[in-house]
Amino acid sequence: MGREVHRRHNRATLSKVGELSLKLSAEAALLDIEGTVGSIAFVRDVLFPFSRARTNAFVRAHCEDPAVRAVLDQTAREAAVDVHDLNAIIKALHDWSDRDVKVTPLKELQGMIWKEGFESGEIRAPLYDDAVDAMRRFHAAGIRLFIYSSGSIAAQQLLFGHAVAGDLRPLLEGYFDTTAGPKREPSSYHRIAQTIGLPPERIVFFSDHAPELDAARVAKLQTVQLARPADGVFAAGTHPASDTFAGIDLVTVNV
């Protein structure tokens, strides 16, 4: 950990292996959730099992609700099953869930089920303290904050509205999910930058996943990898990387 490494990238200086001293000029931060501001374990071990265990009952109880029906119809189309075959639709949803397929109807249904859990108090989101501190620091410095996650926008709002640290939604200006496009496609980041209304060079994307960062960099966004050993993530070596947001500063003027 004490070996000095010096590397210039996105105006970043790696001061020590695993530690990042970084000051970037930007106007907005685009944040991934899983493995970045919150642990992979929380999503994998709490949220996913919670929704999977309740999918069957939820679908059968709410299949006539217009919003749920729309999700089920989209599931049927994407899974190539009969829209009237509820058993086949549920089976497809379970299959996608078991394989963690990033498909919009599954994510929307999960968000609906999680809503019940968050609002009942059964679920609270234990976000990383350093991430919460950074969000507050960035916001206080005038940096616009946005979320980009494969989870639905509704699920994202629930998570940040019911965090252990409190309601963090006032810090956030907007949310993006797979309806903006796949996270490994540069076009998705172009689309997000256009929606935000900033040149991509003025946005920093934070994620644990190197292929997502690669796509964002092709789209000209600045990039930082969160490589948290607790989540089994290690620096790819192709982006500035740190195991914490501590020491990372964003300023709205050129540096």
pLDDT digits (tens, 9 = 90+) for 123-166: 999 999 999 999 999 999 999 999 999 888 988 999 999 999 99
Pairing of strands 174-176, 144-148: parallel
91 & 20 share domain: no
- What is the length of the chain? 255
Instruction: Give the residue from 66, 90, 120 where a domain finishes.
Output: 120
pTM summary value = 0.80
User: What is the average pLDDT score of the chain?
Assistant: 90
Contact 42, 36 (CB under 8 A): no
pLDDT at residue 19, as a whole number: 54
47 & 20 share domain: no
pLDDT at residue 80, as a whole number: 96
30 & 68 share domain: no
Q: Could you tell me the CATH number of the domain that includes residue 86? A: 1.10.720.60
pLDDT digits (tens, 9 = 90+) for 154-193: 889 999 999 999 999 999 999 999 899 999 999 999 999 9
Q: With cut-offs at 50, 70 and 90, classify the pLDDT of residue 10.
A: very low
138 & 100 share domain: no
77 & 179 share domain: no
**Whether residue 209 has pLDDT greater than 50:** yes
Range of the domain at 172: 8-38+125-251
Contact 227, 208 (CB under 8 A): yes
Per mean pLDDT, which range of 5-14, 105-114, 211-220 is the poorest?
A: 5-14
For 218, phi then psi, to 5°, come to: -60, -35
| Residue 196 covered by a domain | yes
* Number of domains forming the structure of the chain: 2
19 & 144 share domain: yes
Instruction: Give the residue from 94, 120, 146 where a domain finishes.
Output: 120
76 & 89 share domain: yes
Q: Strand 248-251's sheet: what is its strand order? A: 8-9, 12-16, 19-25, 248-251
**Whether residue 218 has pLDDT greater than 80:** yes
Q: Give CA–CA dist 236/213, Å, rounded.
A: 10
